[in-house]
Amino acid sequence: MVSIQEQIVVITGASSGIGASCAKMFAQEGASLILAARRRDQLEAVAAEIEQAYQSQIYLLEMDVSDRATVEASLASLPEPWSNVNILVNNAGLSRGLDKLQQGEIQNWEEMIDTNLKGLLYVTRSLLPGMVNRNQGHIINIGSIAGHQAYVGGNVYCATKAAVRTLSQGLKMDLLGTPIRVSCVDPGTVETDFSRVRFRGDTTKADKVYQGFNPLTPDDIAEIVVFCATRPSRVNMSEVLVLATDQSSATMINRQ
């Protein structure tokens, strides 16, 4: 395991779920954290918890990744000790609805495309030139099993995650000849707010997604993200597909 002590790690969507777990686990390894999310109060809660447990330096960014102007302005004006970002974890993402495409709500599509795809691009485009100039860096994208297989009603969400996977491959090609690494970590079902967001707060529907089996936890994914970031420099973890033992495809789950 290579040390990432004092490396600067940007994590988007850091206020909950996989993003908050990544924040905690990078802090455990002594990294300095730039935590970005839309909800400042929740970011502050995550930061307070981490500061209590670890020595980490933390900088908070209230930022919606889909708001291009804010992303560009925030990341271009990072104060001096924070401007040389070493690792970017593109975690911010969401799903909205599970309607067949013929019944789909266009507003839901816009939100998923703007966040999962365009947001990831805005953040990456803002931070990558610095990494290229410094000849150092690692982009870790959070994809999904949904990027490998579509499922009924998943249409646009699956397409955004397939795009994240393809972008990760293309980016690695663009960076060939530099030491900058690109990883795509693709989880199956992880118990987070994901389904509550998908079903707009309908907890009965959301809870059903995780019922009757042992789903992955955000910490399971954060461990893998940190694993990718702590390999020797010759090793690029290109893609990791990780499913619960009780899951064998996007739609096959062994429920009791």
Judged by CB under 6 A, the residue of 90, 115, 141, 189 near ligand 8X3 is: 189
Cβ proximity to ligand 8X3, 124 vs 195, nearer residue = 195
Judged by CB under 6 A, the residue of 87, 131, 250, 253 near ligand 8X3 is: 250
For residues 166 and 184, what is the distance between their CA atoms, to the nearest angstrom? Answer: 10
Residue closest to ligand 8X3 (Cβ):
144
For residues 56 and 106, what is the distance between their CA atoms, to the nearest angstrom? Answer: 41
**Is the separation of the CB atoms in 242 and 189 below 8 Å?**
no
User: Residues 133 to 172: which contact ligand 8X3 by CB under 6 A?
Assistant: 144-146, 154
Is 157 catalytic? The answer is yes
> Does 192 participate in binding ligand 8X3 (rule CB under 6 A)?
no
Q: What is the SS3 assignment for 143?
A: coil
**Measured between alpha carbons, how far is residue 6 from residues 37, 58, 82, 254 in Å?**
22, 11, 11, 42
Cβ proximity to ligand 8X3, 94 vs 131, nearer residue = 94
**Count of residues touching ligand 8X3 (by CB under 6 A):** 8
**Is the separation of the CB atoms in 43 and 160 below 8 Å?**
no
Least distance between ligand 8X3 and beta carbon 146 (Å): 4
Cβ proximity to ligand 8X3, 66 vs 189, nearer residue = 189
Least distance between ligand 8X3 and beta carbon 83 (Å): 32
Cβ proximity to ligand 8X3, 121 vs 241, nearer residue = 241
Looking at the DSSP bridge assignments, the partners of residue 184 are 141, 239
**Residue among 90, 244, 110, 236 nearest 176 (CA):** 236
Cβ atoms within 10 Å, residue 245: 9
**Residue among 43, 38, 22, 116 nearest 70 (CA):** 38
Strands 8-12 and 87-90: parallel
Cβ proximity to ligand 8X3, 21 vs 144, nearer residue = 144
Which window, 17-25, 63-71, 173-181, 188-196, contacts ligand 8X3 (CB under 6 A)?
Answer: 188-196
Catalytic residue IDs: 157
The binding site for ligand 8X3 (CB under 6 A) comprises: 144-146, 154, 188-189, 194, 250
